[in-house]
Structure formats: C-alpha cells, structure tokens
Amino acid sequence: MSVSETESVAEIKARNKELINEVLAVYPEKTAKRRAKHLNVHEAGKSDCGVKSNLKSIPGVMTIRGCAYAGSKGVVWGPIKDMIHISHGPVGCGQYSWAARRNYYIGTTGVDTFVTMQFTSDFQEKDIVFGGDKKLAKIMDEIQELFPLNNGISVQSECPIGLIGDDIEAVSKAKSKEYGGKTIVPVRCEGFRGVSQSLGHHVANDAIRDWVFDKADPNGPAGFEATPYDVAIIGDYNIGGDAWSSRILLEEMGLRVIAQWSGDGTLAELEATPKAKLNVLHCYRSMNYISRHMEEKYGIPWCEYNFFGPSKIAESLRRIASYFDDKIKEGAERVIAKYQALMDAVIAKYRPRLEGKTVMLFVGGLRPRHVIGAYEDLGMEVVGTGYEFGHNDDYQRTAQHYVKDGTLIYDDVTGYEFEKFVERIQPDLVGSGIKEKYVFQKMGVPFRQMHSWDYSGPYHGYDGFAIFARDMDMAINAPVWKMAKAPWKAAPKPTLLAAE
C-alpha cells in the first residue's frame, strides 16, 4: 500500500520536493542545475507542470529516450503497410526496431504488405567512404523486381546519411520518375537530429506533406463517394489493435473512417485524408503537425480525443459528435449507452480489487496523461508522471486536464531518478517501457509496459478498457509479489515491545 494514502496533499508536496532535492544531490553541479528544471511537484491551478521539456538529454545519465529515426520509421512511417520502408544506413537500427512495436495490420506480408519485415541498405565501410546513393538506387530497383505489389517506398535515414552528404532526395525523385510517378519518400530522420523521437515525428509528418500530399493530384478522384460524415483517425498506431477498437466506435456512432494514420494504414488512405470532414487526433505529440497543416491548407478541423477508460471515451465521443449534426450526436449517445452495461460490469469486477492503488507513469506520446482517466475509472490514483519526449504543450494539457495537486512530475527522467522516486514513493504499479520493466519488477513493484501493452491490448475504446482493467489487476494482484522475500528473511524482527 502506498505511503501517500495516509498523507495530506501538503505532506505529499513536501515529500516530493525533498525527494527531488535528494536525487539532484547525486549529480555534478552543472548537471544538477540542468536536471532541476525538469523535475517538479504539480501545483493545482497552474497552466503547465512547471518543467522544462524538449531539451537535449544530458550525456551519460541513462536517458530513456530514443532518436529521430525511431520517431519516423518506428512510429509514423513503419506502420504504413503497403509501402516498403528502407532503413537506410548500417544494419542495427532496422534490426532493433524490426516488428517490435506491434503495429497490427491485415495483409499478406512480403507480397502486398511489409510492416513486419526489415529492409536495410546494410551500409558497409565503402558506402560510407564513397556514398550510398548508387546503392540506394539499386535497392529501389531490386525492390521493384522482388516486391512488385508494393505501393510505395520510403527512405528512413540513419545517422550516417546526413553526415556523408548523400542526396537521397535526388535518388528518390529520379526513381519515382523512372517508375511512372511512384510514391518514393526520402525522410531526413537521422538519429542525431533533434533531442528525441519527437523531431522524427515532425520530420515524418513533413515528409508526408511534401512527398505525398503535394505530389497527389488535388482534384483527383477519391476511390470512394464522399459523405458528410467522413473522418480520419490520426495518431493511432494500432498497437495490439488499438485503432480497430477505436474505429468501431466511430463507425457505430454513424461516422465513416476513411483513413487510419498510421496503424493498419495504406498510402491510399494517406492520400485520401484531405477529403475528410474532421481529423480526430489521438496522439497529439506525433501527429499534430500534419493535422495543423491539413487545417491550414484544406480547411479540415481537427479534434483531440482520448479513448482510454469510459469517462474519457464518453467525453471524447461527445466532443467529436459536436462537430456534426444531431444524427451523429444521437449516435454518440447511443454508443455510450450501448457499452454502459459492459463498463459497469468491468468496473464492478475490477474496481474493488484496485481501489486506492497508486500508479507512477513514464511513457511517450500521449500516454503520460491520457491513461490517467482510465486508472481513475478503476479507483486508482496516478501519483507521478512524465514524458519521454513531450513538449510544453503536452505539459499544459497534463496540468489543465489530468493531474492532481502534488503529483510528482519528471521530464526525460534518468534511470537513477526513476529508480529513486519509485523506491521512495512505493507505488502499487509502475507503467513504463521494456527498459524499465525489469528494474522495477526486481524491486518487487508490479509493472506494465505502457508502450507495447506488455504484448496484450488493445487498450483503446470500450473493448480495450476491459483488457486494460484485467491487465492492471493481474499485474498488481499477481501472487508472485508476495514471494519476493524469502520467508526466513521476511520473518518479523525480534521486537522490543515485550520488554516495555
């Protein structure tokens, strides 16, 4: 049981502040000064969380962050299923990110879809010395020959590409022309660019703008008749099927989803998106850029939503419906009502087992805030949270809509800080990534991976919430956590009470 339950908010704040000072003490002075700006205790009523963000990680501290390539290939582009994404550079990047994010899709892999394959130019020393453009051109020819049903190619740059001065844009243009205007997208997502995955998302968004939207014929016919209810799902990567358990709700309320960005998505869906009446945006961090662009260029409004947990789902369905007529508004109410019984049953089953349990989060994208409502629906409390690669607008949204007074906030947390925070706060559950999972489980703290859903999911939507509740319960209430201490070690210490 968490210590925080027995304390007042003032005590919690004081404890958290002390804790921040404690972890800062380990750093050399210069580093302590820099890290201090990323750690804070949330004050209710403030417009943001009072931390700096989207700044360079400090060398040697064990940041949890990845790189721009991870943001582009791993997040935005990789899930586009009918295109071939070349990891351009040495073999490692593509190897470590190969099929690791569980972007579900339907298709015949290796024939008309390619998500769980690793295409790489496998750079050798000679490619570094003489440049890799000729090799890239040849790779595209070989792709055309061996994978004739691919609908497009993207070039995901790894670090060396930008350093050796390769002109992947020229190669892409020439090959696109040679193949009759085929979509070939060069992406400048070299890992050293920017401070985290975040720049990779932005670069990837811009590449869609420049190499997909701007190449498409704006007056060209869509493959379908437009309706007033056409929407696109933006920023759902279909991890464990998340986009599917979201799409079904939008369709049940009467909307028509014409595109998924980018989980289980296709090039045709990207191209058709400017025909949408509304873009609904789940992961604001990774795809706000393209949403803003479509608003400016095509006049498509966009609307953020949150499909974690029944409270936020209902709120979001109503917000999305507010952009449409009564038919859709009624549709939203109908959907909410339809799933009410399921939600009541899930909460009746799991809330008693989870009530009052505390959670600490450290994730990327939208999850450090978006999942808070789902935990609260189960009677749980998030006592600490932070973003791997958030910006200030993420922390504003977090402060204004999600976290409670006194919540510990840690931006780009270091391995050391996270370990110390958890050790001291003793939450009932930690939600973070694979690199963190085993650290906390060794400490005897229940853990769920909140990037991959620990190989479960989906967690989005009403169907997903049932799985979320089941999984949190099985993490926290697993018998294993009672066995961490050997019984001969756990025996109560000889007490002095008797003598008193």
Partner 1 sequence: MTQNAEHVLDHLELFRGPEYQQMLANKRALFENQRDPAEVERVREWAKTPEYREKNFAREALTVNPAKACQPLGAVFAAVGFEGTIPFVHGSQGCVAYYRSHFSRHFKEPSSCVSSSMTEDAAVFGGLNNMIDGLANTYSMYKPKMISVSTTCMAEVIGDDLNAFIKTAKEKGSVPAEYDVPFAHTPAFVGSHVTGYDNVMKGILEHFWDGKAGTAPKLERQPNGKINFIGGFDGYTVGNLREIKRIFGLMGVDYTILGDNSDVWDTPTDGEFRMYDGGTTLEETAAAVHAKATLSMQEYCTEKTLGLIAAHGQEVAAFNHPVGVAGTDRFLMEVARLAGVEIPQSLEMERGRLVDAIADSSAHIHGKKFAIYGDPDLCLGLAAFLLELGAEPTHVLATNGNKAWAEKVQAVFNSSPFGKNCHVYPGKDLWHMRSLLFTEPVDFLIGNTYGKYLERDTGTPLIRIGFPIFDRHHHHRYPVWGYQGGLNVLVWILDKIFDEIDKASNVPSKTDYSFDIIR
> Which residues are the active-site residues?
67, 70, 101, 201
Minimal distance, residue 43 CB to partner 1, in Å: 28
Between 265 and 373, whose beta carbon lies closer to partner 1?
265
Nearest 5 degrees, angle CA 471-CA 474-CA 476?
105
| Contact present, 80 and 267 (Cβ < 8 Å) | yes
Between 364 and 406, whose beta carbon lies closer to partner 1?
364
Secondary-structure percent of the chain, ordered helix, strand, coil, rounded to 5: 50, 15, 40
Between 4 and 273, whose beta carbon lies closer to partner 1?
273
Cα(436)–Cα(445) distance, integer angstroms: 11
Minimal distance, residue 80 CB to partner 1, in Å: 11
Minimal distance, residue 456 CB to partner 1, in Å: 5
The SS3 call for residue 235 is strand
Helix (H) or strand (E) holding 423: helix 415-425
The SS3 call for residue 409 is strand
Minimal distance, residue 467 CB to partner 1, in Å: 5
Minimal distance, residue 91 CB to partner 1, in Å: 5
- Cα–Cα distances in angstroms (integers) from residue 58 to residues 27, 64, 87, 433, in the given order: 11, 11, 27, 20
- Strand partners of residue 226: none
| Contact present, 124 and 131 (Cβ < 8 Å) | no
Between 480 and 498, whose beta carbon lies closer to partner 1?
480
For residue 44, how many C-alpha atoms fall within 13 Å in the half-sphere facing its CB? Answer: 6
| Contact present, 287 and 76 (Cβ < 8 Å) | yes
Minimal distance, residue 346 CB to partner 1, in Å: 5
Using CB atoms within 10 A of its CB, is residue 10 exposed (0-12), middle (13-18) or buried (19+)? Answer: exposed
Between 339 and 402, whose beta carbon lies closer to partner 1?
339
Minimal distance, residue 393 CB to partner 1, in Å: 22
Between 10 and 478, whose beta carbon lies closer to partner 1?
478
Between 173 and 420, whose beta carbon lies closer to partner 1?
420
**What distance, in Å, lies between the first and last C-alpha atoms of the chain?**
29
Strands 119-120 and 39-41: unpaired
Of 105, 111, 150, nearest to 264 by C-alpha is 105
CB count, 10 Å around CB of 269? 21
Dihedral sign for Cα 346, 349, 351, 357, please: negative
